[in-house]
Structure formats: structure tokens, C-alpha cells
Structure 1
Amino acid sequence: MWAYQPLGTHGFGRLAILMVGAVSMALSCTQAYAEGCISTTYADPPREVLECSGGSRITAEPGAAYRLIDRNRDGRPEAIELKAKGLLIEYDARPRGGFQVLSPHAVASVRGTTWAVDVTSSGTAVFVETGRVAVNRASGGPVVVLKSGDGTDVSPGRAPLEIKPWTAARRMSLMVRFGR
């Protein structure tokens, strides 16, 4: 089940879609999600893919609790608020600038890349497949910059963020959730 929360009366708030039910084969359905975005649901593995104008592609695993943020109301999200589970973001900044994922524990900012963010009650994990992503705590503090193959785990508290190359097993366990 994927649940979308309306964002008011502008931009992405104009359409709120609740998709519930079993996904049958590889491609279940394609729907207009909001201005500039198309939503497609896949079954193997179960996931939803949002293709937005300007080159953004957001893949959400089942149960991901997130909200797109379109600050300038141009029909293209500049950020996502992620409360639970994982997203894979493929973002091409050439047409328009940066993008952020805001979680309860971290802020991940990028100019153009492919990366994943996974939120649990105990923290937020950020992994970069390609490119570079700046990460800091939601409460502020020093920023770390992750490059391809790097990840960091942001837990509640004040411990410094550590950049670690992720093992193949950890990368695969995350990326397989998004059909990678």
C-alpha cells in the first residue's frame, strides 16, 4: 500500500492518490500522479516508480511513507519528506538545480546523482550509487559528502557521521528492494 498525503491546494496537493491492493504481474498500473509526474506500479519486486518532468525518477518500496515537496509550484518536486522505509532517487540536476530528502534523522542534498535513503525508527541510512550527496543531521551539524559506493548511518544523538564504503552484501540488500 502506498499512501500519498495532499500538500495543500497547489502543485502536488491537487491530486492525492491512494493505491491499495495486490499487484499481479510485472506491470500493474500507470497513473498520472500529479502535474509533471506519472506513477507506475511494478510487482517483481513490488515498488512504485514516479517519473517526473525534468528527469527525476523516484522509486518507492511498499509501505514507504513520503510526501513530495514542490516549493515553487512548477510541477517538479525539489524535495521529499521521508518518514519510513526506503526510496531510490535518480535525479538529473542539469535542468534545474539541487534536490533534498528530509528524514526525521538526516537531510541528504544533491545536485545530480542516484542514491537511496532508508528510514527506520532507529535511524536513516543514506547510500550513493553514483555521484555525490551531502548529508547532515536534521538538527544540523557537520556535513559529510558521500561519493559512489559510500554510505552513512544517521542515528538519533550527536555522534559524528561516518563515511563508510558499503559492502556488496549491504548494497545489494538495499538496492534489490528497488528492482536493481
Structure 2
Amino acid sequence: MGMMVRLPIVLMLACALAGPALAAGTTVDRTPVGRVIRLEGDGSIVRDRIRSSLLVGSAVFTDDVIESGTAARLTVQFGDGSTLSAGPESRVVVAAYKVDATGARSSAIFSLLAGIVRAVVQKAGLGEFAVQTDTTVASARSTEWTAEVTPAGTAVLGLEGVVEVRSRATGASVDLTRLQGSDVAPGRDPTPPVTWGSARVERTLRLIGPAFR
């Protein structure tokens, strides 16, 4: 797995949630950035402020808000082979997904509003890939990790490779390797990396389910 990259992000959540403005009589050519490859339970998508049910094979676009129901899990696979899985009662925005002239990923940013996600990033060197919450940015080029919104802030667990965890409030960051975790409370630095106990790791993996590559 490749090493992480530092990711400067200035992203207004309102922009992430807003649908693209369409002028009267104007059509916009929108290309899917990913597709749903796994769905256990109920899932929905909010696009242009319209909510619809998800199915395996459903297309996913930039600015979409993906939601999973109680006891549900779903996985979206993107054009470069990377996947983002959402656990029960999760809500995540595809805030940005950009490709270069060759079609390779140059930037992928996801805003986790609630619940838990698991990122499996493929093809090192294709550009940044990050999951952000209100308190945290977790980013890497080629690695695997989970991020969960908790009552105390955000919890990040490294599963493969190296992932950078940065506080959005203070700018301080730590690097996590396999089975190391860090918690980020609002307005605070990330806690130092520590190897999580088996009970916490098993709970996290049970929530999110197996990785899809």
C-alpha cells in the first residue's frame, strides 16, 4: 500500500449538499463516478433534493447523499476500483470526485455526516482520497481504514497501509498503521496512535462488514 498525502480541504458542507443548479431549458451532461455493488437492507440516495431507493447497480454521482437504513450495509465502487462502504444508519456525501484528462482519479473527497464508513483505496499515485467529518480529515493514497462519527467526535481505525488523521480545528495530525486508532474530539488534536483492543476492533468491523475490493 502507498503512503498518505496531506490534504488541504476548504469545503463548505452546504455546497456539498446542494444539487447542481440547472438553468431553465439547460441540460447538464453528468457522468456517474461510481456504482452500488453491495446492498444489504435498505438504502437511499438524495440527488437534486430528491430521495430515491438504491439498488445494486445504481449509479452514483458527485454531490449525491448516500444513506443506509437500520441494520443496512452498502458498498459503492468507483472508476479506479476504490470502494467506500457504509454501515447502519450512515449518511455520506460524495463531495468531490475529479478525474484528469486520462480518466484517472485526481481527487476524491467524501463528507461523513453520520454513522461509519470503510474506505479501500486502490492504485497508489492516482491522487488524493479523503473522508472528512466535522472534526477530522482521514486521507491516504492507497490504504484501508474506517471512520465513525461518535457522540465524542470521530474515531478512525487503520486497517492496511498508512492513513493520516488530521484535526480540522487545530491542524495537528497523526499517522495510523494497521489496527491503530485515534479519536478526534471537537476543537482538539487527534489522540496519539494506539493499538485498539480486540473488542473495539471487532465491534467496528462487525458494524461495517467485510471489505469489497
- What TM-score does the superposition give when structure 2 sets the normalisation length? 0.65
Pick the structure with greater CA Rg.
2
Is residue 68 from structure 1 mapped to residue 94 from structure 2 by the alignment? yes
Is residue 175 from structure 1 mapped to residue 179 from structure 2 by the alignment? no
1:19 to 1:116, Cα distance in 2 relative to 1, 3 A: farther
Cα root mean square deviation, aligned: 3.2
Determine the structure 2 residue equivalent to 1:109.
139
Q: Distance in 1 between the 2:31 and 2:55 partners?
A: 23
1:71 Cα deviation (Å)?
4.9
If each structure's strand is expressed as a fraction of its own residues, which one has the higher value? 1
Equivalences for 1:1-180 in 2 at 5 Å?
5=17, 7-8=19-20, 16=47, 18-19=51-52, 29-34=55-60, 46-72=72-98, 78-94=108-124, 96-159=126-189, 161-180=191-210
Bigger shift: residues 73-82 or 110-119: 73-82
- Report which structure shows greater RCO (CA 8 Å, sep ≥6): 2
1:12 to 1:161, Cα distance in 2 relative to 1, 3 A: farther
- Tell me if the contact between 1:125 and 1:151 (Cα under 8 Å) persists in the aligned partners: yes
Quote the sequence identity (%).
Answer: 26
Bigger shift: residues 66-75 or 96-105: 66-75
- Tell me if the contact between 1:132 and 1:147 (Cα under 8 Å) persists in the aligned partners: yes
1:101 Cα deviation (Å)?
0.9
Determine the structure 2 residue equivalent to 1:24.
none
- Tell me if the contact between 2:88 and 2:208 (Cα under 8 Å) persists in the aligned partners: no
Letter in 2 for 1:18: R
Q: Tell me the number of residue pairs that the alignment of Structure 1 and Structure 2 aligns.
A: 164
1:31 Cα deviation (Å)?
3.0
Letter in 1 for 2:51: L
Q: Distance in 2 between the 1:35 and 1:141 partners?
A: 30
- After the TM superposition, which segments of 4 or more aligned residues of structure 1 sit over 6 Å from their partners? none
Structure 1 spans left out of the alignment, 5+ residues: 21-27, 37-41
- Tell me if the contact between 2:170 and 2:187 (Cα under 8 Å) persists in the aligned partners: no
1:162 Cα deviation (Å)?
1.4
1:156 Cα deviation (Å)?
1.7
